[in-house]
Amino acid sequence: MRVLVVDDHAFTREGVVHILNDNFEINKLARAGNYDEAMEQIRNNKWDIIILDISLPGKNGLEILRSIREIESRVPVLVLSMVPVSQYARRIVQSGATGYLTKSEPAEEFIKAVRTVSRGMKYFSPEVQQELPDLIDEALNKPKHHNLSDREFEVLRGLAAGKSSKEIANEYKVSTNTINSYRKRVLVKLHVRSNIELVKYAYKYKIVE
């Protein structure tokens, strides 16, 4: 595996290098501490994975990530960050990161992330997934109905099959208001606005035939 580690803190950078050497077969490894060094390495070499710190002097990691995507659209980029997930995660995912985790995660999580993105899959830490569930689902190509509770999913199936809220309420022996509350949650979670859009969604994902 050919790895480029981009981090301006030598101590952190060498820690990452140490973990990589201990857990992976590394054929080539380079270090960069700022935008210019990183871009020189990216323009002049081929990498199997780039590990990128988001907080760098001058142009930050987010700008580097966007520049990387202009040159190499497919190379996996695993972003590491010290800042709270809420501040940068959405921009990082939207800018094309293959993976994202904070530096507070244990080494085992970092190893898992490297292994995942190096195999062509995406990896986002549990903290990131909790903070940005809608965006992560989109990035992972995960259908939105996977976020529904069991009862919400059954209400979705019932409505998509043409049943009324009253019919579904009688089936589950609850009030119509309860089913309507579930319906509202389903609409929000699926990002649809009406029963017609809900039915289209259900047929698209073969929730009903």
pLDDT digits (tens, 9 = 90+) for 29-62: 999 999 899 999 999 999 999 999 988 877 777 8
* Average pLDDT of the residues in 167-192: 92
In the chain, how many domains are there? 2
Please report the pLDDT score of residue 130 as a whole number.
74
86 pLDDT band, cuts 50/70/90, is low
Domain span at residue 194 reads: 144-204
Helix 176-190 and helix 165-172: axis angle, to 10°?
110
Residue 12: which CATH number? 3.40.50.2300
Asked whether residue 37 is domain-assigned, the answer is yes
| 57-61, 134-138, 145-149, range with the lowest pLDDT | 134-138
Please report the pLDDT score of residue 135 as a whole number.
64
Highest average pLDDT, of 125-129, 144-148, 180-184, comes from: 180-184
Please report the pLDDT score of residue 137 as a whole number.
63
Residue 161: which CATH number? 1.10.10.10
Hey, which bits of the chain come out as E strands? 2-6, 28-32, 49-53, 77-81, 99-102, 123-124
Please report the pLDDT score of residue 184 as a whole number.
93
Q: Give the DSSP letter string of 58-121.
A: SS-HHHHHHHHHHH-SSS-EEEEESS-HHHHHHHHHHTT-SEEEETTS-HHHHHHHHHHHHTT-
Q: Please state, as a whole number, how many other Cβ atoms lie within 10 Å of the Cβ of residue 66.
A: 13
CA atoms within 13 A on the CB side of 125: 21
CB 66 within 8 A of CB 95: yes
* Average pLDDT of the residues in 64-86: 85
Instruction: Say whether both 151 and 135 belong to one domain.
Output: no
Asked whether residue 163 is domain-assigned, the answer is yes
Higher pLDDT, 139 or 146: 146
C-alpha span between 134 and 167 (Å, rounded): 31
Instruction: Say whether both 31 and 128 belong to one domain.
Output: yes
